[in-house]
Amino acid sequence: MPHNLAFAVEMATTLLALAGLGYYFAALVATYIFLGVNRPRLSDSAPGVSILKSLKGLDPAMLDAFRSHCRQQYPGQYELLFGVSSLDDPAVAAVRQLQQEFPERSIRLFECPQQLGTNRKVSVLIQLAPHATQPYLLINDSDITVGPRYLERILSYFGHNQGKREVGIVTALYRGRAHGSLGSRLESMGLSTDFHPAVLLARIVEGGLRYALGSTLCVSREALASIGGLEVLADQLADDYELGARIYAAGYGVALSDEPVETSVPDYRWRDFVDHQLRWYRTVRDARPAGYVGLIFTHGFAWALLNVLASGLSPVSLWLLAMVFFLRLTLATTTGIRVLRDRQLLSNLWLLPVRDLVAMGLWIAGFAGNTVVWRGERFIVKNGRLIKA
């Protein structure tokens, strides 16, 4: 019986490692397909856009992130609208300073005190939206830093089709900027080497993206109205995912821009890192349960390593581990450097095996419950909704 069990474990890990090898290859092909896509050109009549930001507290390098939005080389009109639940919030001082530094820009701050749902960020955005004056709304987080042609490249997708669908929302890939701690570096690396390859592969497998990423949510008012406005997201944890998914379900296309942005990853303590990752894993499990189970095939390196142990360091298992790691490394560097232009990746690349083993453990832990921690509060995620624990 022990011999049969050992043989079964060896065979199972061999098959899963081979599946992981296939996944890395498919994701690499999807990455090269994305690199070959031609970006549309902005129309001569550049549409106006209102940038909405919900603020709570100070994030690392937040003011520099705000400044990057004010330095846009965009021929059309744009405005920045900031919302806080209370004018006592520390973020207010950063907005006031921004207004002084860029008097030529339309920068407005609003107090949004109403609690319209369990998702406080969306609650603020709902109250901000009526103050927007432009035909397009762009939502991103307070820590997002963008390039000078960000608006031009995001808005260029409108007026074009995604497949046979008129583009209703544009989203963007994003890299992380780590801040020292192991948790910060592991999360930043995961974005470049784990999360985004899966997004690019899903884009090919599903015939186009069917959800959106919180780094950029640029939506036409017509598409937003078709789903009932931001109000339908008031109790959603994955509001970015849901916004894209609902707009897709309403018949519009979701465009993925090749203009990556940068998010600041906090200097996490280990417990905070685990809480943040589990929130992501359990949100994905709730939104896409079949896809979450399918993540078993994305942990090729971990399965190959287990296969080496299960086979007693057999030559075949060592060969398989070498092949899996080579393809894993190729995928990580292609996506991280060529697509996301992640300047930190090379210096942190030695952590890739650690990241993969931690990711597998977190994926398993994601099955163990539906409780998440968000801004220090515990919630239960059920059918996409947040319920106070």
> Would you place residue 3 in the very low, low, confident or very high pLDDT band (cuts 50, 70, 90)?
low
* Residues 90-132: tens digit of each pLDDT: 999 999 999 999 999 999 999 999 999 888 899 999 999 999 9
The yes-or-no verdict on residue 389 having pLDDT over 70 is no
Nearest Cα to 236, choosing from 130, 126, 364, 85? 126
Residue with tokens 């000078």: 148
pLDDT classification of 376: cutoffs 50, 70, 90: confident
* Under 8 Å between Cβ of 9 and 310: yes
SS3 47: coil
**What sections of 288-335 are H helices per DSSP?**
289-294, 300-310, 315-333
At 1 the pLDDT is 47
Mean pLDDT of all residues in 41-56: 90
pTM for this predicted structure: 0.90
* Residue 163, pLDDT above cutoff 60: yes
pLDDT at 39: 81
What angle (nearest 5°) sits at the alpha carbon of residue 233, between those of residues 231 and 237?
A: 150
Residues in the chain: 389
**Mean pLDDT taken over the chain:** 91
Bigger pLDDT: 149 or 8? 149
Say which range, 91-100, 214-223, 231-240, 295-304, has the weakest mean pLDDT.
231-240
Cα(204)–Cα(209) distance, integer angstroms: 8
Q: Which domains does the chain have, with CATH numbers?
A: 1-40+157-389 (no CATH), 49-142 (3.40.50)
Q: Is residue 38 very low, low, confident or very high in pLDDT (cuts 50, 70, 90)?
A: confident
Q: What is the pLDDT of residues 75-85, one digit of tens each?
A: 999 999 999 99
Evaluate if residue 385 carries a pLDDT over 80: no
